[in-house]
Amino acid sequence: MTAAYTSALAEELAPGLLERFERYVRVSTQSARDRTHSPSTPGQLDLSRMLVDELLALGLEDADLDANGYVMATLPAGEGAGPAVVGLIAHVDTSPDAPGDGVEPIVHRGYDGGVVVLPRGGTVLDPEAMPELRDAVGHDLVTSSGDTLLGADDKAGVAEIMTAVAHLAAHPELPRPTLRIGFTPDEEIGEGASLFDIERFGARAAYTIDGSTLGELSDETFMAAGAVVRIDGHDVHPGFATGKLVNATRLAGQILDRLPAELTPERTSGRDGFIHVFEVQATAARAEIHAILRDFDDEKLEGHAALLRRVAEEVAGAEPRAKVTVEVRPQYPNMRRFIEPHPEIVDAAIRAMRAEGLEPVNQPIRGGTDGSILSARGLPTPNLFTGGHEYHSVREWASLQEMAASAATIVRLAGEWAAVSD
């Protein structure tokens, strides 16, 4: 039996939303960490061009794609609306953390609460390991075939914005402010907001549609830094290495071994930060350790960086013939400090969710969004749910009922802002 939608509006939006979502996820848009230009991969432009064509067909006459891969468009205000200009933002790229080419979406109607076995890759969705599945009994689930990402992060958000805009454009009698639509590239590699033209966008406030669980509303994110530890050893022929070889690979292993296990993503939760080593490149002559540092607090983030430096220096100190350097660079800030002075932005989202029959769940994001940097640059941008789950993995899934609730919430959010008079 299919679960009920959160509203008649959500049910009305669901078929078109699903059609858009299935179409978008089939376009390969993984971003690449070794970016040399924007966007980092050509597939992102394929989807962005598709979106421009669809926006133009909906009557948004200024829809365009700029030289850096950013889509922007305007849906003019309805009759009698206030002067507010509000943005809706999602990113077109998907994560490089798992395979992303050749996505084949599968719709599982009326999920029965059991284990879902996907046809490829031996991938299973098990509610014992994924408790959020228990809240989706009766829902229509969308998955990949099991050997790729689905792409709900963030094509669910893209589809929800497009569906809401299409509905508002087709119903001019519905209240809405001037809406600015933005689709960004390369969010997954931390570059989504770097070339975003805030002045041209011209919004007072914006919302990224890039969250997860039904009702999720986030005005706080991790603050983030990236770190690279470089180790130069001394390589010689192993047959003549006695007293001469300084093996950079072994030194890298010592550094990794000394980092506290309790400070890893798999051992932390809630408001705990972490040091996450995600890549090691090593030979006897040279090694590099790539890590990300995350926390909600400035001093704690600085503490993680200091710990990494201290461990590297201790290992280097035990082998003076090696050269060890640590480079730490900021990535994005916690957006809360930039949103707090503007409580009306979050309040409008709360009212919109409650109008859709949802009770907002305000929780910090153990990650970042485009809104982290946009908020710091002067465009306050909290984050709203999409209905996608298990991001960055081949187990990624989305609930059609939750996605439809997101699209309906966007329509209601437009109504809330239409009534703002200043």
Instruction: pLDDT band for 362, please (50, 70, 90 cuts).
Output: very high
Mean pLDDT (the chain, rounded): 96
Give the number of other Cβ atoms within 10 Å of residue 298's Cβ.
12
Q: Is 93 tagged catalytic?
A: yes
Mean pLDDT (whole number) for 195-209: 97
CATH topology of domain 8-221+334-418: Aminopeptidase (3.40.630)
Residue 197 marked ligand-binding: no
| Cα 368 to Cα 373: distance, rounded to the nearest angstrom | 9
CATH topology of domain 224-331: Alpha-Beta Plaits (3.30.70)
Q: Please say if the pLDDT value at position 421 is more than 80.
A: no
At 415 the pLDDT is 97
Residue 234 marked ligand-binding: no
- This prediction has a pTM of 0.92
At 104 the pLDDT is 97
Residue 91 marked ligand-binding: yes
Helices (H), 202-297: 248-258
Single out the catalytic residue among 187, 356, 396, 402. Answer: 187
The string of pLDDT tens digits covering residues 58-90 is 999 999 999 999 999 999 999 999 999 999 999
Instruction: pLDDT band for 34, please (50, 70, 90 cuts).
Output: confident
Q: Please say if the pLDDT value at position 2 is more than 90.
A: no
Residue 188 marked ligand-binding: yes
Q: Please say if the pLDDT value at position 149 is more than 70.
A: yes
Give the number of other Cβ atoms within 10 Å of residue 220's Cβ.
20
Stretch (H or E) spanning 158: helix 152-170
CA distances (Å), origin 34, targets 27, 123, 196, 283, 372: 21, 29, 20, 21, 22
| Cα 143 to Cα 394: distance, rounded to the nearest angstrom | 9
Left if phi > 0, otherwise alpha if psi is -120 to 50, otherwise beta: which for 121?
Answer: left
At 241 the pLDDT is 85
Window from 207-211, 328-332, 394-398 with minimum mean pLDDT: 328-332
Q: Is 257 tagged catalytic?
A: no
Radius of gyration of the CA atoms of the chain, in A = 23
Q: What are the structural domain ranges in the chain?
A: 8-221+334-418, 224-331
Instruction: pLDDT band for 173, please (50, 70, 90 cuts).
Output: very high
At 1 the pLDDT is 56
Alpha-carbon dihedral 165, 169, 171, 177, rounded to 10 degrees: 70
Helices (H), 58-134: none
Residue 167 marked ligand-binding: no
To the nearest whole percent, how much of the chain has pLDDT over 90?
A: 94
CB 387 within 8 A of CB 150: no
The string of pLDDT tens digits covering residues 272-311 is 999 999 999 999 999 999 999 999 999 999 999 999 999 9
